[in-house]
Amino acid sequence: MHKDFALGRFGLVSGPDLPDARLAYRTYGSLNAAGDNCILLPSYYTGTHASYEPWIGKGRALDPDRWFIVAVNMFGNGLSSSPSRADPEIRGAAFPSVTIADNVIAQHRLLTDLGVRHIRMIAGWSMGALQAYEWAVRYPGMVSGILPIAGAARCSPHNFVFLEGVKAALRADPGFDDGRYTVPPVRGLRAFGTVYAGWAYSQDFFRNGSYRDVGYRSVNHLIDDWAADHEDMDANNLLAMLDTWQRADVGTAERGGFEGALGQIQARCIVMPSTTDLYFPAADSRIEVNLIPYAELRPLESNLGHIAGRPGIRGAETEQIGEAMHLLLDG
């Protein structure tokens, strides 16, 4: 069961604020007396704290008998402050734009309140990786290592265009009504999931029938499942997180731009792009690794596309991620 951390009226980097802001989280294991055995897992797009549980447990990569693991939910995911769960002043379409930096600042307040003095590793898939990079830049002395998996330090132009496409599919439903819907815009939500399905996996995944490895009988079964899955989601929540994603960039002017920001990272980094990711490609990760002082590029060999890094998706990918975690935690 997750807990809520009350942030009060939380000022956002962009200017407005979140009244009665809440950060939902769950912890596993116990914090040691030194406050330095913490592992942070920031949530990803449409995921929650529970999404990381395939990595957590005795005999798994993250053992709660040894580590104090904090899995935190990003703003907009429906558990932390979100369009669907917010003060009436900012509920629904009125929810303000929230940045990756806003999420990390709120998480820093949470960890400080929990007594954490140092973070041994921040591991995150997809949007979780975006948050890991921001942590390493914003609080360099607090983080020993980061493991960005199938993610990046910023949203690239091509990634931005992909997200505009899924956004347009949802907003085209007349029932969406610019976010003022009173019943879910089901057609738009199903269209969103259908378009997204083609980007989540690789060409090899479909060509070789690897969809059977992850529980799908056919391509049509996969398409139907993605449409049905998104049908149950809140449209404004999806767009709020998507906005956070599109605006992600560690390279602010005061940090010396993108190159200057990555050059300030003190943490050891193992960067794991999926070798077949369509929108967080390994080429982008290679550029980032070359700008970070203590970074290693360790591609996640997989034909699953972006989904390769999702916790527990398949044994071969889980093993590769576990090896990288071991290197950061014990190497």
Which residue stretches of the chain are H helix? 100-114, 127-138, 157-171, 186-200, 203-207, 219-231, 235-246, 257-263, 282-289, 315-330
* Same-domain pairing of 215 and 88: no
Domain count, the chain: 2
Place of tokens 């690789």: 202
Range of the domain at 47: 3-155+250-330
Written as one string, the DSSP assignment of 160-208 is HHHHHHHHHHHHTSGGGGGGT-SS--HHHHHHHHHHHHHHHS-HHHHHT
List residues with catalytic annotation.
126, 277, 306
* Same-domain pairing of 68 and 182: no
Query: Which of 242, 263, 290 is where one domain is finished?
Result: 242
* Same-domain pairing of 132 and 184: no
* Same-domain pairing of 84 and 179: no
Give the integer Cα–Cα distance in Å for 45 and 63: 25
* Same-domain pairing of 184 and 324: no
* Same-domain pairing of 123 and 212: no
CATH code assigned at 207: 1.10.1740.110
Query: Which of 196, 212, 242 is where one domain is finished?
Result: 242
Return per-residue pLDDT of the chain as tens, 331 residues: 899 999 999 999 988 999 999 999 999 999 999 999 999 999 999 999 999 999 999 999 999 999 999 999 999 999 999 999 999 999 999 999 999 999 999 999 999 999 999 999 999 999 999 999 999 999 999 999 999 999 999 999 999 999 999 999 999 999 999 999 999 999 999 999 999 999 999 999 999 999 999 999 999 999 999 999 999 999 999 999 999 999 999 999 999 999 999 999 999 999 999 999 999 999 999 999 999 999 999 999 999 999 999 999 999 999 999 999 999 999 7
* Same-domain pairing of 233 and 301: no
Q: The pTM is what?
A: 0.98
Contact 275, 122 (CB under 8 A): no
* Same-domain pairing of 65 and 209: no
